Amino acid sequence: MKVVVDASNVAYSTKNENSQPQMSNILAAVKSLEESGDEFVIIADASLRHDIDDKEKFEKLLESENVEEVPAGNDADHFILNIAHNEKAKILSNDKFRDYAAEFKNINSMRIPFVIENGRVTFGKPKSPKKDKNILQHISDEIIKELNFKRWEVYTGKEGLEISPLNIAKQAIIRIDNDNDTSSKLEKVFSKIPMFNKIVDMVDDVEVAAPYVIFVLVHPKDYKLAVKNAGNISVTVADRLRLEKKPLIAVRNDLFTRPGTFELNIMLADEVTEHAPYNVLVRVSTHDEVFIKKNSRNIASTIAGRLGSWKFPFVSVKPDMLLEKPGDFEIELEKGGSLDG
């Protein structure tokens, strides 16, 4: 196999403590190519001799027959691509040469990506860094910790109960009944409840002056089920607890809730805020940027449902070069939230 070595790309792939490209990288590539028996030529950018860490060894390398320095003022990338194209050779480089895609149609098949570890070059696509599968939950957890630090009460239950309209109604009745410290015997109440879908007809618009707001926290897969039955749940809770006004049911996607389960954050109506107190800035590594942006509304829904606000906080996601590893993130709370729930 014929190989054109992009000397600048190889040298810059790992830098020394002074942020200089390393001669040792080029020598490691030469050693690996020699061991594999490949025919190769090294093409060096004219500026590399001024930047590389070991200038003496580089000058000596330039004396070799299979090393060529691109004259100053010439485009080294185009020079490399042209040689590889004419010689039907591969290019050892992690550069994707996007600026030349229109002229050279098969760049991806020409390139040999590489990794340098412990002074050795490994050819082939580098392994993708291992990602944090639970990064959305970790981000939400950190936001909740920040809110607690700022003395906001946030619902933290994560155990999860098996989801069904009847179970949601039962749990709401138990929780509200216990909060009111009534003497009613709930076992008798439930023993008299017939099949849930025969209890009541679909409810009309719920009154604004509801005594309670029940935030039903569900996995996104179960959102439609909970919304579809919200009216019947509200009527059942009001009927069995003899409430003058039916409670409002607010269904929220929740990142802590497993599929097939639910949690309830039950609040007095006057405790629910119109807006979330803070918007959220999430700084992330480039590895996670797209995924977190795609799920930013689920993060906002999780916080709104556990905090008890009608409107979602605005969650903005920004890549940060200082956060290098997948799973790295930083949270910053910014005053005021305004997205509709």
Distance from the first to the final alpha carbon of the chain: 60
Q: How many domains does the chain have?
A: 3
- Asked if residue 270 belongs to a domain, the reply is no
Q: Does one domain contain both 233 and 86?
A: no
Residue 283 class from Cβ within 10 Å (0-12 exposed, 13-18 middle, 19+ buried)? middle
Q: What is the pLDDT of residue 207?
A: 38
What DSSP letter does each residue of 258-297 carry, written as one string?
A: PTTEEEEEEEEGGG-BSS-SEEEEEEE-TTTHHHHHHTHH
Q: Does one domain contain both 85 and 33?
A: yes
Domain that holds residue 199: 162-254
Q: Does one domain contain both 26 and 58?
A: yes
Q: What is the pLDDT of residue 211?
A: 87
Q: Does one domain contain both 179 and 137?
A: no
Whether the Cβ atoms of residue 337 and residue 312 lie closer than 8 Å to each other: yes
Q: What is the pLDDT of residue 197?
A: 47
Nearest to 273 by CA among 234, 303, 243, 238: 303
- Asked if residue 43 belongs to a domain, the reply is yes
Nearest to 301 by CA among 340, 262, 244: 340
Q: Does one domain contain both 27 and 56?
A: yes
Q: What is the pLDDT of residue 337?
A: 56
- Asked if residue 9 belongs to a domain, the reply is yes
- Asked if residue 15 belongs to a domain, the reply is yes
Q: What is the pLDDT of residue 324?
A: 77
Give the end of a domain, one of 123, 139, 173.
123
* Residue ranges in the chain whose pLDDT is less than 70: 125-129, 180-210, 336-341
Q: What is the pLDDT of residue 193?
A: 54
Rg (CA), the chain: 31
Q: Does one domain contain both 148 and 284?
A: yes
User: Could you tell me how far CA 11 lies from the centroid of its own chain?
Assistant: 32
